[in-house]
Amino acid sequence: MVEQNPELAAALEQLEQRLETPIVPGELASWIEEVAPAWRRAESLLRLQVTTTHPKLLNEIMRQDQGLATRVAQLQQADAGLIRQMDDVRQIVDELRTTVDHLEPDEKLAEDATVNLVEKGLQVVIAARKQEAAMSTWYVEAFERDRGVVD
């Protein structure tokens, strides 16, 4: 079994909580100031996981079982998709942080951006958890898979 990264899991949970916190009218600036650092922490840890840990796991999966090449390719594609999703969310967070002060008192102008941030941010959290579970599953499978009779 691949040991889960507890720091990443905690960062994703904190980000999820921040994103799910309702925005009280007049408090958009403070909401984004709580979301932004939670995002930066989760993104940093997730990017490190995807670019450092996952390639090592994928190499080991291939070394153990060449028959999982298709799964490895799927996992690599999922990692690339996760990076793209993170880039999108980072851009939304950065734009909101730079424009939020100019929106007071009409925060309604940022409603589409905040809804987009919450939706895409939560999608990243779910995709990251799903990818970690997939990595763990296929890593274990590479070692334990019944390959039939081998001479």
Over the stretch 126-141, which tens digit does the pLDDT of each residue have? 999 999 999 999 999 9
Q: What 8-state DSSP symbol labels residue 21?
A: S
Regions of the chain short of the pLDDT cut 70: 1-2, 103-105, 107, 146-151
The Cα–Cα gap between 130 and 146 comes to 24
- The answer to whether residue 151 is domain-embedded is no
Sign of the C-alpha dihedral, residues 86, 88, 90, 93?
A: negative
Over the stretch 34-47, which tens digit does the pLDDT of each residue have? 999 999 999 999 99
Structural domain of 88: 6-142
How many residues in total does the chain contain? Answer: 151
Place of tokens 């040991």: 3
> Cβ of 4: how many Cβ atoms within 10 Å?
13
- The answer to whether residue 57 is domain-embedded is yes
CATH of the domain at 12: 1.20.120.330
Number of domains the chain is built from: 1
- The answer to whether residue 147 is domain-embedded is no
pLDDT attached to residue 3: 72
- The answer to whether residue 73 is domain-embedded is yes
